[in-house]
Amino acid sequence: MRVFVLWLVLTVALAAQAALSGPLPGPQQNATSQPRLVEVPLLDCAGLPCIEMSTSSGKTLRLLIDTAEANSYLDIKAAQSLGATLQPLKTEQNTDVSQVQQTTAPGAKIGDLPMGDFPFMVIDTTPQPDKPGEKLPPFPADGALTYTAFHNRMLQIDYAHHLVRLSEPLDAPPACPQTCSDLKVGHVGNYGPLTLTATGFSVNAEPVDAQIDTLFTGTMLIYPGSVQKLGLKKLAKAKHKEFFPYLQGGVKLAQADGAAEAWQSVPLGQDLPLYFFTSDDHPNAVSYDATVGSGLLSHATAVFDFKGMRFWLDAGTAASSVK
């Protein structure tokens, strides 16, 4: 929800609401069998990864896959089209958050995989520019599925073949075909929203602890506190800038080329772009070094094990080229 001023309200009100985005329990596979993986098209929503979710009301929702946020959400118009009841979101103290409602998509399915009666927050996704006269592109989907939507499941984003694979709820974590990294959930800064991070990434052979944000279309964004540690002071002075409308409400980042970026033993490129905040930006202080986006993940199939909370990249399906 990085495009909305409303997120400032949600940060406090939703601290205890992360479980809201998880679906009701679906059918479990037999403990001795392999989990069933459903394969659906990976769609392009203004350059962002998205998939379709059908509902028993006959509506089909086009939803972004947003791994940097905890609470799945729908635009208010999309929620109203479902004909479902909208109710105010409540805090731990049982008080209403008047700006945010919640609803349920009845009988939700991804492909033919049942997702139960799926809960969403309901918000106005109209972008709110920071400056008078500034224009931002419209929100490109009906809403978003965040990492808690895939609780206890395996999620594979195969950028090269434009496919997403999603498992039934797992009884046990699947075996890693290679070295895995731990997925961790933590706050952005000290009190910000919850987000997903992983170790194992590197830039110029220096290890990087990174937030994974599939709505960041760049490769790797380095935070100011880690520039010197990673030996990137020269690259951070790059003059070329690129605008990312769906990152932090829309931001221009400095772009430098020539970085070797990798995950574990998987080289992702020797001359890739690297991004930095400029002096005009005031990013939150964070506990991780970087944000890794779809521009880097798309060099391989990104695999998220949300049962064992692990992550890996499968280079066997690497994309032929990534911008």
For residue 296, CA distances in Å to 180, 240, 275, 301, 313 come to: 17, 19, 12, 10, 11
DSSP string, 15-31: TT-GGGGSPPP-PPPPT
13 occurs within a structural domain: no
11 occurs within a structural domain: no
Whether 292 and 198 map to the same domain: the answer is: yes
Whether 22 and 158 map to the same domain: the answer is: yes
What pLDDT score was predicted for residue 63? 98
Whether 255 and 157 map to the same domain: the answer is: no
74 occurs within a structural domain: yes
Residue 7's identity, in one-letter code, is W
Percent of the chain residues past pLDDT 90, beyond the cut: 65
Q: Where are the beta strands (DSSP E) in 111-205?
A: 113-123, 143-146, 154-158, 163-167, 181-187, 194-203
266 occurs within a structural domain: yes
> Quick one: tokens of 240?
């070329």
Whether 46 and 118 map to the same domain: the answer is: yes
Whether 133 and 51 map to the same domain: the answer is: yes
What pLDDT score was predicted for residue 221? 97
Coil, helix or strand at residue 226: helix
What pLDDT score was predicted for residue 41? 98
What pLDDT score was predicted for residue 133? 62
4 occurs within a structural domain: no
Coil, helix or strand at residue 236: helix
268: CATH:
2.40.70.10
Domain limit, last residue, from 167, 194, 224: 167
Whether 250 and 143 map to the same domain: the answer is: no
Whether 139 and 62 map to the same domain: the answer is: yes
Domain limit, last residue, from 132, 167, 202: 167
Classify residue 174 by burial, with Cβ atoms within 10 Å: 0-12, 13-18, 19+.
middle
Whether 22 and 140 map to the same domain: the answer is: yes
Residues 274 and 291: beta-carbon distance below 8 Å: no
6 occurs within a structural domain: no
For residue 242, CA distances in Å to 18, 20, 51, 249, 274 come to: 32, 35, 26, 14, 11
What pLDDT score was predicted for residue 1? 44
323 occurs within a structural domain: no
What pLDDT score was predicted for residue 28? 42
Q: What range defines the domain where residue 129 resides?
A: 18-26+35-167
DSSP string, 80-124: HHTT---EEEE-TTS-EEEEEEEEEEEEEEETTEEEEEEEEEEE-
106 occurs within a structural domain: yes
Q: Name the DSSP letter for residue 34.
A: P
Instruction: With a cut of 70, list the residues of the chain below it in pLDDT.
Output: 1-34, 129-134, 316-323
Whether 160 and 22 map to the same domain: the answer is: yes
Whether 204 and 257 map to the same domain: the answer is: yes
Whether 75 and 207 map to the same domain: the answer is: no
Domain limit, last residue, from 108, 140, 167: 167
What pLDDT score was predicted for residue 36? 81
What pLDDT score was predicted for residue 9? 38
Classify residue 209 by burial, with Cβ atoms within 10 Å: 0-12, 13-18, 19+.
middle
Dist. CA 218–CA 252, nearest whole Å = 12
Whether 145 and 94 map to the same domain: the answer is: yes
What pLDDT score was predicted for residue 294? 96
Cβ neighbours for 321, distance < 8 A, ≥ 6 positions apart: none
- Distance between first and last Cα of the chain: 24
For residue 90, CA distances in Å to 73, 237, 247, 279, 283 come to: 15, 45, 27, 38, 29
Indicate the number of domains in the chain.
2
